[in-house]
Each structure stands twice: as C-alpha cells, then as structure tokens.
Structure 1
C-alpha cells in the first residue's frame, strides 16, 4: 500500500483497499443485507399471523408516522424521570442516526452521482461540513455508549438487571462501542498515513488521534520510502497503513455482523420500537378491548390468541426496567414485574417457534405466568406511562386476567365480589334498596333523576353509598351541589356498580351486563351531564361505555337489557368527575370561596384513574387552593403519582406486602414533602383511595400524624367558615 498525501479537499472512499478486497466487501454486504431482510421478514410474518387487534392501529398513517418520529427524535419518554438516561439515549440515538445518514450520503455520492451522472458533491465546503458533523455526532455516540456501559457495569443500575438479562445485552452495547471507537481509529490512521492534510483538521477527533500517532512516531510506508534514516516506534510491528487496513476490515466486519444480527436479537428494538410507537392506541389502558359475544372465543389459551400488536409489544421491549422501577406492586414485594411478564411471553413464543413444549399461558403453577403475579397488578398504568416505547402492558395483562376468570382461577375474595355484584348490583353484597340511605342525614331531599329532569345526573358509586367513611364524602358533595343551587339527582336503587375494576380483573361479561343496565337506565332519564364521585366510574363511563357493542349482547337471555345502540358515540353526553364539575361552579361564581377560609398545610394524592388515566391534575388542586389550604406537593405527583394499592381489584384482596403501597405513600407525605411533618391533612379525590389510606393510616402507625380527607370535605368546611364570616359581618 502506498501512502498518498491528500491536498484536495475530499478523500478516497476505499483508500488502501484492493480491487479483490473491494469485490469481497460487496459480496459480504450483499449477504448481510439478505440475512437482515430475511430476519425482518420473519418477524413481520409472525405479526401478520397474530390475531386481529380490536383497535385501529394504521389509520391516518402519515400523522402517526410524523408524531412517532417526533416522539423518537425528541427522546421525550427517555427524559421522563431520568435525566441521565435521557441524555445517554439521546446521544446514542442522534449519533447513530447521524452516522447512518453519513454512510447513506457516501453511498449516494459513490453510486447515485459519480457512477450514474459522473457528478460528485463530496468535496470542498460540503466535505468539510460533513466531516465536522460526523466527528461531533460520532463523539456524542461514543460518549452515550460510554455512559450506558458506566451505568450498566460500573454503577450496576438495579433496574437494568433481571432474569431476562443475557449475553445479548452485553454483545449489543459492546458492539456499538466497538463500532464507534473503531470508526475514529480508522479515521485517525487514514489521516496520519495520508500526510495529515490541513483540511482534515475539521475531523477533530480523528485528527487528534493522528497527532497522537505522530507524537509516538508511528511508522508509515511513505516515511520509510523517502528517508532511509527514518526511525519510528511501530505498533506490534505494524505501520500506519497496515493498521488502517486492519481497522478498515475490522470495522467493516463488525458492522456487517451488527446489521445481520439486528432482526434476531435486542437490536431489533430499533425497528420494533418505532413501529410500536406508530401503532399505539392513544387511549391505551383507559379503555380495554371488548370481547365477542361468542362463548367459544378464547382469551389466552395459547400464544396465538395474542394480537399482532401484543406480539409487537413483546419485541419492542428493550429490557430497560423503567416499568419495573415505577411499579407499586413490585415496590411492595408483590410477585409482579411488568417487564418480566412481557418478556416471559416473548421467551415462551420464541421457545415454541424453536420446537419447545406447550404449556398454559397463565396458571397457578406450571404456566408461563403465575396467577398470583397477575392478581398483584393494580391497573394503575404507571408501567405504561413510564415505558419509552409505548408498550401497552394493560392490554396483555387484561387478556391474562380474562383467561384466569375463564379458568376459574380467580382468588376467593374476588369471587365473592363477583357474586355480590351479580346478586345485589354492588360489591358490598348489600340490598340495592339501601343504596341511598347515606342521604338520610341530609337536611334536604335528593331528586330522583328517574322522575325529574336534572342538569347533573350524579352517579354516587358503591363506596360513597355503603362505606361509612365515604358516606361522609357523599354527604359533603351533596351539600356542595345544593349550596351551588344546581339541579342534580341520583338513580337510587337503579344505580349499580360501574364495573371498571371487575373488568380489569377479567370479568368482562359482568361488566357488559352492568354497562347495559346503566345506559338503558340513563336513556330513560333527562339530564345534561353525568357527574361521578369515583374516578374509576368516571373513566369507564367516559372511555369504555361508548366502546361497547350492546347490540351484539342484547339478544343474550343472560343480559338484563335490550339496548342496541352505541351509547354516547358522538360524545353528546358530558361525563365529568365531580372535581371538574365543582371547579366550573367555583369559576362561575356559584360557590363563594375567597381562598382564605382554611389555613391547613396539606398534600394531595393524584388518583390513578383521574390523573394518569385521564390527565386531570389541575381541577382538584384549584379546589384545594380555593379553600385557602397551603398545598405542598409530594415528590411523586401528577403523572408520577404512586398508586394507593386499591386498583385492579387490590381493594378486595389480601396481600402479604411490606410496606403496603398506602403506607409508603403516607410516609412520603410526612417525610419527603418540603413541609415534612407539618403536613396536617392528606387530601384525596377518590373513594377507593380514601379506603386504602384510612387503612394504611392505621396499619402504618400514622393515626396521630395526619388526617385523611376528601377535597369535598375541605370545601364544605370552607363554605361553613365563609358562612360564619358572613354572619359575623352582618352582625357587626
């Protein structure tokens, strides 16, 4: 190989490579591309064989792609809760994409212009800009990989390690590191061996390495040929040209290996993650897929029951552990790790494809997933919120829960709840005639919305109707609505349980029965808006009842309704959580609150079904501040809120857990807020949260430290304080 001092502002693409090597290179490139395309074909052929997904995933594809690209390129999900991880991934992604584009530019210049059009643009100012950008972004890429190696192997970040951690994780990260560092070494050897042209100074990393080689006196063929007295320090007996040749082939072979390997291992997430983001459901979790009325339909008897999107979810998982680190069930030592459930399903699928033995998907021992694991899920959606690649855990989890219900593997407490709802229409098993007894202590009568037209049809809910602690909240809310002088009424004994949580533990047909009863009842009433006490009710009325195909079930003699329309398909009926409705009343001046009635120091817990599910964070806070309370935020607030433990059936189950989610949250309120132990009241806006935190206050030893109150109770106290102040002013 002869060194050539390059003065022209460009470089030879295949410098130092013979014609034979050139041919071998392209033969290997063709083989690599074939192996890559075959692997991608096999992956997507498997998705095509999956069950149909109930939701539209490819509609308005151009918008989906543009939004998906914005999410990916901005790294917004990676930065959530993890600045270090966000920077690390951004450096790797942007660096990798820049190097990929740079390679494509060389290909276009080499074949798209030089050979076809006898035209070249890879010279002069364009070349200088190209070289600088590639070095800058390549350096970011190497730094990002270095950050990943540091976090994984030096710090040993706990969430990166688990039973699915394997050699492919190490091969992936070290291969990328080898490509990044190898590229710079290759550039440094080339610049040094070609006489260190001045214009190559823009390649500041490669030029810096060339200066190191010059400083140690690395021999070159040119130096030896022109100066017989030339002496230099060789590297393992090699000169710069030989080292460049070795680096070129090492870099090329490593790149070929990586490209060919992509569809067969972890690197495939570079494709599957983008596809997963594009095909995501914007309402994932807050609405669940319906089941057909056909009793022969299966949920998760085999891996073939999973939809193509659920299979794509499995392949999109990067094992990052963000879902694991945020999961309240895992934090409480329940036997659930969201990442492991997704990856267990993937491993089983791949094992079957390799000729492995079939076994139950979910079973009490001996299944792919254990029943106790699925019973541990709180359906809080924290895993989905934290996932950077938009995996819809709750859709797969619900499929598993439905299979458990079909098999009769539901725990005894949940079976009792199902029985209570079927026989009495409520989870307590109490008589429906007693449903409105909570209102007996009110100083006014409640309107029967079945008999009179009202503005607000108030769905009270199970716990405010039957639980003694939550009855106080119901009376507070009734007082607020009465004070605001609005027209409202309830359904009395025609109100039943909303069905949100029994659906999330797998009892789909009971859910449809409840939904059919309610929409049929509502159709016979005259009202403008449905107002819910419970965020769980709000979620299912707002997002799920409109999705139910009632006509498919109406002819079933087991279903107690004849309703056949699509309820609220066009959104003509407004559904609100009570904090949203009352916040409007305060804003309109129908409730007079000056903002200085109360002087408590409080903190507020965002309910999962109001916050993460439905993005309502401000109405509750506006109401708290309207009472005059000093609101201090817990570190985990809004979308980062930590579940009380009551969702997904957790309210009715007994778990041996330490600490309970409710206890951990109360500890956070007293120890981690900036007000610390000065916090007097722990404020909630959900009856289930009230129940869980009252229990946690006792079991955690917090009874003397703070009080658990609902926002409605604060407002009623503030109204009382305002009325007293007005009387005193009138007396004066």
Structure 2
C-alpha cells in the first residue's frame, strides 16, 4: 500500500494495452471534432444575427440558468431535480477525468513530482467523484422511470397531423435510450472499476474517502472475489468502462447528447426582446420571409440542434391541445431533419432522381433536400400548420433551452403570404377590416350599441376630455 493516498491509472496493464487505449482515444477525438466541424459548417450556412452585444452579461445569465436548472424547475420539479443531478454529476465526473488526464498524461511525463492527485487532494477528489457519481446514477434512474413508465404525452413522438410514410421518429426513441443507457453503464462500470481496485489491497483511507468503492469492494468480497480473481476482472471491467466512455464521447455530436454542448450557447445568444417585437424581414433576401434554409440565421439553426425533444412546448401549445394540425416541437424537428438532410446532400451529392428511384422509404426532409428550389413553407411545413399557431409564445416560455419558435413561424408565414397562401379565415378577416373597419364584417354604426344597456352615459373621447381611455376591442363590441 502506498504511503501517500493516490491511485494507479494503468495498474496491471502492459505497454500494448496503454498504446491501444491512447490510439482509441485519439480516434474518438477525431470522430468527435469531425462531428463538431459538420455542425459548425451547418450554422455557417445561416445569415448573420446580432447576438454578441453585452456578451459578459449574456454568459453570466446563461450560467445562472444552467447552474440552477431554473427553466426546468419552474415547470416540472421531478424532471428538474433528475436533470440537475445528472448535469452536476456529469460535470464533476468530466472535470475529474480532465484533472486525471492533466495529472497523469501531462504533469507526470514532464516531472513526476508535479503530480497533484495524491495526498489530501486525492482524498477530497475521490470523495467528490463518489458523491456526484451517485447523484448522476440517481438522476439517470429517475429519468429512466419517467421516460419508460410514466407514459407522459410530451414524450410521445406520434403525430396525428402527418402521413406516417413521410416521417419516422423511431430513431429519436433509440437515440433517447442509447444516450441514457451509455451514461448509466459508464457510471455503473466506473463504480465497479473503483470497487475492484479497492479490493486489491484494501487501503484504509478508502473506507471514508471512497465510500462507494469500499462498499462495492465489500459486496464483491462477499460474492467470493479474491484479489487474484479481482485483478483479472478489473482489467475486463476497466476496458468495458473505457470503451463505453469513449463511445459516449464519439456519440455526442451525432445525437441528442449534443445538447450538453450546444444548449449553454443557445441560452447565451437568446434574444430577450423576442416577445416584444416581431422579427424584421431578412434585408438581403429576395423574399419577405423564409423560403429556404439559407434564409435562417445561424442562431435559428443553432436553435434546431438545441432541441432536446422534451416535449414541453408540445403540451403547452394551445393549438396542439385544440387538436389543430400544429406542434412547435414537430416544427423544430422537421426543420432540423431538413437541415441535416441538406448537410448530407452537400457531402454526398444526393440528387432527386436517385431519391425517387430508391426502393427504401425516403423521409420528406430527404426528398426536399434532394430537390432544387423548394420553398419550405407549404411543403416541408404545411400551410395549415403555420396558420394554426396563435403566436402566444407559450412554447418559448416553457422551453428550457431558449429556442425561439415564434420568430421562425412568423418568417415562414411571410413567405406564404408572398406566394398568396393565406388562411381562408384570415383572408375574410382582412377583407372585413378593409371594408368595415372590423374583422366581423359588422356596420360601424353598431359598434356602440352595447352602451345603451349601461345605467350611465359613457363619455365620448372624441367630443370631451377624458382621464382614462378604455379600449374594448371589436369582440366585446359586437358580441
């Protein structure tokens, strides 16, 4: 047992095993950063957006929201607590791995005396990893129960408004479970590695400072694991843990797991004034609204990737609860599928003829990505869906990652108007406004009839001074 509390990283490993691990780590990082590169290239297709003002304040605000999980806690305490445990557990374990990398791979080769994960630092380091590892595991179990057994409508990807031949959400379900599964088994195997390491020589300091490792080692001892058997098992479990962890890192840019990277930046660049004014039409574009992917800003393309598919906007939307053919979640997912298909098409030279001749079922997003000159509003996003939105901004109010749905909807509607595709009820309302001054098509003379039922005479602001001006609106006047 070493005199100074510490741990050996590659205990029992030969040089070939170490080389193999580092080779896999390099390959993992290449896959990870290639995925990041593809994402950044996608965002660069978007127009400019002024989101860098007051950058320091933006970062502090985002840090505060993320640290407290405030956007989740206010709408769903169970999910908020579970996600908070997962988030902080993940962050601390990631920092622990980063510190170990600095200690073993950077400090040790330069000067072994520079290693810092030993002594008292190691004891607190070990305890912190145990505590936050348990928090991560508890949060994951909570989310597995929530997703697998509670039957929540916001986690149901079924769409009643679209042809099933044109969309497929099975991949989303697999993505959700693979992400949860990888995190769960990385955590469990990490505790097993710790327990098997402790069971080799039972360092006394590990009892208090590695309680989970000590407890795991005690359970393994009761199951009959001897130090010799444990040393063999430790190598197998270590490799299982390492491969799962490396797989998770490589998986991040291509999956739902990417939200751990992008959501913070989405909150940083969120527009606080978005609910106060409508977005301006793109100044440099030929269209008054959004017709093609290139009309979207880089921030809006970032919004699409930030979506975690939590479904809070879906259940908060009054159009969805009224069984109208619209869901803000499905709008974002449709646009994201199209953006991803466009990115694939640009790399693989996907063409329309090839798509039509393919015998497999091809999703609508891929079909449109292979075609030229497609106007998104009315094709990818049906006109009736866009006109079903009431622009109440409930979706934006409940979104935990700051996605700005309504400005995109408004811009897509503008493209519809430019092409003469207006909701028939809106067409009639506009005609009545032009002819009668109200959307009900009623005579202006009838507007004040309701005042005859009052037991007092209201003042006419056009003829005498008034202190308060009470604007009723046309609905109250004609109904």
- In the alignment, the residues of structure 2 paired with residue 155 and residue 246 of structure 1 have an alpha-carbon distance, to the nearest angstrom, of 36
Q: 1:453 to 1:186 in 2, by over 3 A?
A: same
Does the C-alpha gap of structure 1 residues 293 and 136 become closer, same or farther in structure 2, counting only changes over 3 Å? closer
SS for the counterpart of 2:114 is coil
Partners of 2:404 and 2:110 lie apart in 1 by 47
Alignment correspondent of 2:58: 64
Question: In the TM superposition, what is the alpha-carbon distance from 1:445 to its structure 2 partner?
Answer: 3.5
Q: Provide Cα deviations, 1:343-372, integer angstroms capped at 9, x if missing partner.
A: 011112222332333254232xxx212222
Q: Distance in 2 between matches of 1:42 and 1:446?
A: 64
Report the structure, 1 or 2, having the larger helix content: 2
Q: Matches of residues 244-323 of structure 1 in structure 2 within 5 Å?
A: 244-291=234-281, 296-323=286-313
8 Å contact kept, 2:206–2:214: yes
Q: 1:10 aligns with which of 6, 19, 24?
A: 6
CA distance in 2, matches of 1:323, 1:176: 26
Counterpart position of 1:362: 377
Q: How many residues align?
A: 438
CA shift for structure 1 position 278:
0.7
Bigger mean CA offset, 56-65 vs 89-98: 56-65
Contact (CA 8 Å) 1:298, 1:305: kept in 2 or not? no
Higher relative contact order (CA 8 A, sep 6+): 2
Instruction: Establish whether residue 177 from structure 1 lines up as the match of residue 171 from structure 2.
Output: no
**Contact 1:51/1:305 (8 A) holds in 2:** yes
Alpha-carbon spacing, 1:291–1:337, altered in 2? closer, same or farther (3 Å):
same
Match of 1:379 in 2: 391
1:191 pairs, out of 191, 198, 215, with 198
Give matches, 1:373-412, under 5 Å: 373-412=385-424
Q: Is the partner of 1:350 in helix, strand or coil?
A: helix
Q: Which stretch of structure 1 is more off in the superposition, 435-444 or 328-337?
A: 435-444
SS in 2 for 1:166: helix
What does residue range 153-164 of structure 1 map to in structure 2 within 5 Å?
A: 153-163=148-158, 164=169
Q: Note the C-alpha offset of 1:467.
A: 1.9
Give the Cα–Cα distance (whole angstroms) in 2 for the partners of residues 135 and 313 of structure 1: 35
- Write the distance in 1 (CA, Å) between the matches of 2:98 and 2:216: 25
TM-superposed CA distance for 1:306, in Å, is: 1.8
CA contact (8 A) 1:94 1:141 kept: yes
Aligned equivalent of 2:96: 102
Report if aligned partners of 2:35, 2:254 keep a CA contact under 8 Å in 1.
yes
Bigger Rg, structure 1 or 2:
1
Question: In the TM superposition, what is the alpha-carbon distance from 1:13 to its structure 2 partner?
Answer: 2.1
Q: Deviations over 1:551-584 (max 9, x none)?
A: xxxxxxxxxxxxxxxxxxxxxxxxxxxxxxxxxx
Counterparts of residues 375-524 of structure 1 (less than 5 Å): 375-430=387-442, 443=457, 445-448=459-462, 461-464=473-476, 466-468=477-479
How is 1:134-153 mapped onto 2 (pairs within 5 angstroms)?
Answer: 134-153=129-148
Alpha-carbon distance change, 63 to 192 in structure 1, aligned in 2, over 3 angstroms:
same
Counterparts of 2:436 and 2:272, CA distance in 1: 35
Partner SS state of residue 325, structure 2: coil
Once the two structures are overlaid, the 10-residue window that deviates more, 108-117 or 280-289, is: 108-117
Gapped regions of structure 2 (runs ≥ 5): 159-168, 346-365, 369-373
- Give 1:313 shift: 1.1
The separation in 1 between residues aligned to 2:129 and 2:224, in whole angstroms, is: 27
Match of 2:355 in 1: none
* 1:608 paired residue number: none
How far apart, in 1, do the equivalents of 2:399 and 2:282 lie?
Answer: 29
Correspondence 1:100-139 to 2 at 5 A = 100-116=94-110, 118-139=113-134
1:19-34 correspondence to structure 2 within 5 Å: 19-34=15-30
Over 3 Å counting, the alpha-carbon distance change for 1:215 and 1:6 in structure 2 is farther
The whole-number CA distance in structure 2 between the counterparts of 1:128 and 1:389 is: 36
Question: Once the 2 structures are TM-superposed, how far is the Cα of residue 166 of structure 1 from its aligned partner?
Answer: 2.9
Tell whether the 8 Å contact from 2:281 to 2:288 is kept in structure 1 after alignment.
no
Deviation at 1:174, TM superposition (A): 0.4
Larger displacement relative to structure 2 (342-351 or 112-121): 112-121
Question: Of the candidates 66, 69, 90, which is equivalent to residue 75 of structure 1?
Answer: 69
Counterpart CA distance in 2 for 1:181 and 1:273 is 26
How much has 1:149 moved relative to structure 2? Answer: 1.2
Q: Please tell me whether the aligned partners of residues 459 and 466 of structure 2 are also in contact (alpha carbons under 8 angstroms).
A: no
CA change 1:438–1:49 in 2 (3 A) is same
Gap runs ≥5 in structure 1: 222-238, 469-732
Alpha-carbon contact 1:285-1:392 (below 8 Å) kept: no
CA contact (8 A) 2:461 2:469 kept: no
Contact 1:285 1:395 in 2 (8 A): no
Match of 1:707 in 2: none
Distance 2:63 2:310 in 1: 20
Q: Offset at 1:294?
A: 8.2
2: CA distance, partners of 1:274 / 1:292: 26
Aligned to 1:485: none
Relative distance call for 1:334 and 1:105 in structure 2 (3 A) is: same
Instruction: Specify the SS of the correspondent of 1:362.
Output: coil
**1:447 Cα shift?**
3.1
Provide, for residues 248-275 of structure 1, a one-character-per-residue CA deviation record: whole Å limited to 9, x for no partner.
1111111111111211111111112111
Cα drift, residue 437 of structure 1? 6.7
Alignment deviations for residues 78-132 of structure 1 (CA, whole Å, 9 cap, x no partner): 1122111011101100100010111122122224544445323222221111111
Q: 1:295 and 1:437, CA in 2 relative to 1: closer, same or farther beyond 3 A?
A: farther
